[in-house]
Amino acid sequence: MENRSENRDSVQPENDTAAFENQIAAQDLDLPDALHLLDCGTYFDRCRIRTPASQSEIAARLLEDGILYRQENGVYAISNLGALLFAKRLSEFSSVSRKAVRVIQYADSSRMDMLKDYTVDKGYAAGWDQINLYLDALIPSKFVIERAIREQKTAFPMQAVREAVVNALIHQDFTIPGTGPTVEIFSDRMEVTNPGVPLVEGKRIIDQPAKVRNERMAALMCRMELSGEAGTGWDDMVRSCEVQHLLAPRITVYPEHTRVTLLAEMPFSNAMPDDKLLSCYDHACILYLEGQCLTSRSLRTRFGLPQSSAGSIARLIRMAVEKGYIKPAPETAGSKRVEYVPFWA
């Protein structure tokens, strides 16, 4: 019987060989050539591991995580997982060359006038700092005075931006050819699109346990602190939008793609009814998971509205109940101060 290390060194793991991340991106490579194609320094830095002194020790670590495979003839192969996360140039791997992150900036709210179009031709972990620097430079921002301190405020919460991008990387369907994750920045919104449809129904994305399409990638990115624990990313996005009194993130599902939209600040009166309803529903979900209920006051605070807007908030709550997004909490039904919970509670 083969021992565990011999199984791990084979060209592909015997179980779940069909998973895209386990398949081969490049093969028949001498060890120096294989390591030359990968940004091994990022792997060790992100995993907080001291970089080994010898190439054989480096290879041993990469073999453990399925980044490299040792072939039966003694040479090496790089997995799709290894290329996707650590490639110095994704364009050198035909199986993942179209999966590079593309960032596009437009002049206004339409796609008519493109200002910048940039593709990060690196693995997601190797190019993560580059992706973030580019987003930081392109996302609109302004200086505001808060508590007598001058602070820079971005159009979209950077925590929500990074969670949206990480989710697009981890949850994409790599089997859909000719397409990859795209970040589009408009004057009034930001759209993050990835191939593949969600594995969890959109209205239950906050409360239901997460389902991960690419398990090994998700686990390794979490270990490298590029993503949080599974199932918390969307909650963090919603909370960060609420802090800035922004409308909730939208999810739009197409036959082969998913798009997450972050909306810039706008007057409550100008917001689309569906966005107000979604924000109301997400607020109820977040509060319920924290052991609380939605109230007229909490929703008014969530939107950053004054007491004089109580009538608008009351109408929104009534509409959310009629549409089946929320319902009165049983223990407060019939009382003067009705509290609300999500429809599934």
The residues of the chain that CATH labels 3.30.565.60 are 100-263
Structural domain 268-342, CATH architecture = Orthogonal Bundle (1.10)
> In whole angstroms, what is the distance from residue 174 CA to residue 156 CA?
28
* Whether the Cβ atoms of residue 161 and residue 236 lie closer than 8 Å to each other: no
- Which of 249, 242, 248 is CA-nearest to residue 165? 249
As given in the structure block, the two tokens for residue 331 are 């223990």
Checking if the pLDDT of 204 tops 50, the result is: yes
The pLDDT tens digits of the residues spanning 211-266 come to 888 999 999 999 999 987 666 788 899 999 999 999 999 999 999 999 999 999 99
DSSP letters of 279-304? Answer: HHHHHHHHHHHTT--B-HHHHHHHHT
Checking if the pLDDT of 125 tops 60, the result is: yes
Higher model confidence: residue 311 or residue 150? 311
Structural domain 100-263, CATH architecture = 2-Layer Sandwich (3.30)
Q: Which residues contact 181 (CB under 8 A, 6 or more apart)?
A: 99, 101, 102, 165, 168, 169, 172, 192, 193, 194, 195
* Whether the Cβ atoms of residue 283 and residue 320 lie closer than 8 Å to each other: no
In this structure, the number of other CB atoms found within 10 A of the CB of residue 281 comes to: 22
The residues of the chain that CATH labels 1.10.10.10 are 268-342
In this structure, the number of other CB atoms found within 10 A of the CB of residue 3 comes to: 7
Q: Which residues contact 194 (CB under 8 A, 6 or more apart)?
A: 167, 168, 169, 171, 172, 173, 180, 181, 182, 257, 258
Q: According to the model, what pLDDT value does residue 149 have?
A: 65
Q: According to the model, what pLDDT value does residue 319 have?
A: 98
pTM, 2 dp: 0.89
The pLDDT tens digits of the residues spanning 35-81 come to 999 999 999 999 999 999 999 999 999 999 999 999 999 999 999 99
Q: According to the model, what pLDDT value does residue 13 have?
A: 46
